[in-house]
Amino acid sequence: MTERLVVVGADAAGMSAASQARRMRGPDDLQIVAFERSTHTSYAACGIPYWVSGDVSGPEALVARSPEQHRSRGIDLRMSTEVVAVDVAAGTVTARDLATGAEETLAYDHLVLATGASPLRPPVPGIDAVGVYGVQTLDDGAALLAGLEALGEGPRRALIIGGGYIGIEMAEAMCSRGLEVTVITMGEEPMDTLDPDMGRLVHEAMAAMGIDVRTATAIEAIETDAAGRAVGARAGGELFSADLVVLGTGVRPNTALAAAAGLPLGQYGGLVTDRRMRVQGYANVWAGGDCVEVLDLVSSRRVAIALGTHANKHGQVIGTNVGGGYASFPGVVRTAISKVCDLEIARTGLREADAVAAGFEPVSVRVESSTRAGYYPGAQPLTVKMIAERRTGRLLGVQIVGREAAAKRIDAAAVALWNRMTVEEMTALDLGYAPPFSPVWDPVLIAARKAVEAVNRTR
């Protein structure tokens, strides 16, 4: 008998799940219906800042697979159709065609919730004014580009609210477009996914790029002109004038639908699943992508991390399980990399504050090294911070700030964390060495050696 898989949300997690299930089970065995409330499928949201900057030519480049491509693979895809209710007892979803308002109730054998995350909008006056832009969807990107074009040439000023990944990437994009840029963040430093001492390095580098970074500053209101158009913001008691305002204030799991259905949500509002990405307590309901919480393997706590690479893995795991195979997603170590112009920023594991919150006593070291052998042309400075547990020396986290091939160096540390290595074990790691690529002591190994000494001093 043909089973039916219903997918809610046709972006990375949802369509990876659908595609993988389809690879494993033919149309006679598994009917797949996917609902998407927007007009786009499977697009790279993380590429939007680079489209806005002009590095990527157009939105179509960001679409990994179009609705037509999905349909041609035997997926019944309903665009501009929003699932408005899930009845897990009855095993049905109710979907509304956003153009006509018509509703349909459909039974499922397997349900995949991949509803993503929604941007957090500071609840201040004027936040919904014309000229205030998000960068979450392709439509957001198009609106921002249209707004930019309407400004014409000449001196223009952008105000970025938020100093995290989106904030710094949009700061780069606005610099690329020739705007003067101010970044306002509530954090002690920008990039508060790093410890403040490492965030300070980002701050200094951004200042040297001509970006005005205001820290520990809360947005109070968007200022508008008589036509209701944003002309700046009031923050920290100061008035910042701007031709456009960009919001990069984070996201939260989009789980209103799941909550209404009574499904279990965690501390950060994300769906709680088991290792196979099955919603806890529901045999045939799966969830993945930005709408779930995942296990942080270092702190052993659940966290919400909106990242395309995780969403794709979740979809792959769900699709394999729905397809009759076995796959699991053990968790994350919170690896993340980014850049602002030529400054690369990477982190994995816990920050000092995270470590303390998880009950570890952290020991930290910071080393200055170089991206290549010191004598090799183009060698650039690189700062590595390493955090270990007191006494045991277990690696807890690594942060890297530097230029040119700095960011992906975090991967070696991420794999070490995954394997619960101690910093002493790490000192012997056989990492790649040649003068164009690394000093003879790899920066991560130098940090590990210093961390061993620091751990020994605090035993």
| CA–CA separation, 368 and 353 (whole Å) | 22
Minimum CB distance to its own copies smaller for 111 or for 211: 211
123 binds its own copies (CB under 8 A): no
| CA–CA separation, 157 and 242 (whole Å) | 5
380 binds its own copies (CB under 8 A): no
Number of residues binding to its own copies, judged by CB under 8 A: 64
Binding string, residues 142-161; x marks residues near its own copies by CB under 8 A: --------------------
Q: Which stretch binds its own copies (CB under 8 A): 86-94, 155-163, 185-193, 409-417?
A: 409-417
Residue with tokens 């043909």: 2
46 is catalytic: yes
Provide, rounded to whole angstroms, the least separation between the CB of residue 118 and its own copies.
21
414 binds its own copies (CB under 8 A): yes
Among 132, 158, 242, 333, binds its own copies (CB under 8 A): 333
348 binds its own copies (CB under 8 A): yes
| CA–CA separation, 75 and 67 (whole Å) | 9
332 binds its own copies (CB under 8 A): yes
Q: Which stretch binds its own copies (CB under 8 A): 127-135, 193-201, 211-219, 310-318?
A: 310-318
Provide, rounded to whole angstroms, the least separation between the CB of residue 44 and its own copies.
7
Provide, rounded to whole angstroms, the least separation between the CB of residue 19 and its own copies.
13
Minimum CB distance to its own copies smaller for 269 or for 435: 435
Assign 366 to helix, strand or coil: strand
268 binds its own copies (CB under 8 A): no
Q: Burial letters for 343-359: b for 16+ Cβ neighbours within 10 Å, e otherwise? A: bbbbbbbbbbebbeeee
Minimum CB distance to its own copies smaller for 209 or for 421: 421
Tell me the DSSP string of 223-235: EE-TTSBEEEEEE
Minimum CB distance to its own copies smaller for 221 or for 421: 421
| CA–CA separation, 459 and 226 (whole Å) | 65
> How many Cβ atoms sit within 10 Å of the Cβ of residue 408?
12
337 binds its own copies (CB under 8 A): yes
Residue with tokens 């209101």: 221
Contact 83, 64 (CB under 8 A): no
Provide, rounded to whole angstroms, the least separation between the CB of residue 430 and its own copies.
5
440 binds its own copies (CB under 8 A): yes
> How many Cβ atoms sit within 10 Å of the Cβ of residue 217?
19
* Biggest CA-to-CA distance, the chain: 69
Q: Letter for the amino acid at 167? A: G
Minimum CB distance to its own copies smaller for 62 or for 93: 62
Interhelix angle 196-208/165-176, nearest 10 degrees: 10
Nearest CA to 331 out of 388, 274, 386 is that of 274
Among 5, 8, 12, 388, binds its own copies (CB under 8 A): 12
Nearest CA to 317 out of 112, 164, 150, 141 is that of 112
376 binds its own copies (CB under 8 A): yes
Can you read off the two tokens belonging to residue 262?
Answer: 């009574």
Provide, rounded to whole angstroms, the least separation between the CB of residue 131 and its own copies.
26
338 binds its own copies (CB under 8 A): yes
Minimum CB distance to its own copies smaller for 391 or for 408: 408
Among 119, 163, 308, 323, binds its own copies (CB under 8 A): 308
**CB neighbour class for 320 (10 Å; exposed up to 12, middle 13-18, buried from 19):** buried
416 binds its own copies (CB under 8 A): yes
Write out the binding residues for its own copies, residues 43-72 only, by CB under 8 A.
44, 46-47, 50, 55-56, 61-62
Minimum CB distance to its own copies smaller for 258 or for 367: 367
Minimum CB distance to its own copies smaller for 99 or for 375: 375
| CA–CA separation, 352 and 358 (whole Å) | 10
Tell me the DSSP string of 395-407: EEEEEEEEESS-G
**CB neighbour class for 382 (10 Å; exposed up to 12, middle 13-18, buried from 19):** buried
> How many Cβ atoms sit within 10 Å of the Cβ of residue 284?
16
State the Cα angle at 8 between 145 and 91, rounded to 5°: 165
Catalytic positions, written as ranges? 46
Residues that bind its own copies (CB under 8 A): 12, 44, 46-47, 50, 55-56, 61-62, 165, 307-310, 312-313, 316, 328-330, 332-339, 344, 346, 348, 373, 375-377, 405, 407-412, 414-416, 418-419, 421, 427-438, 440-442, 449
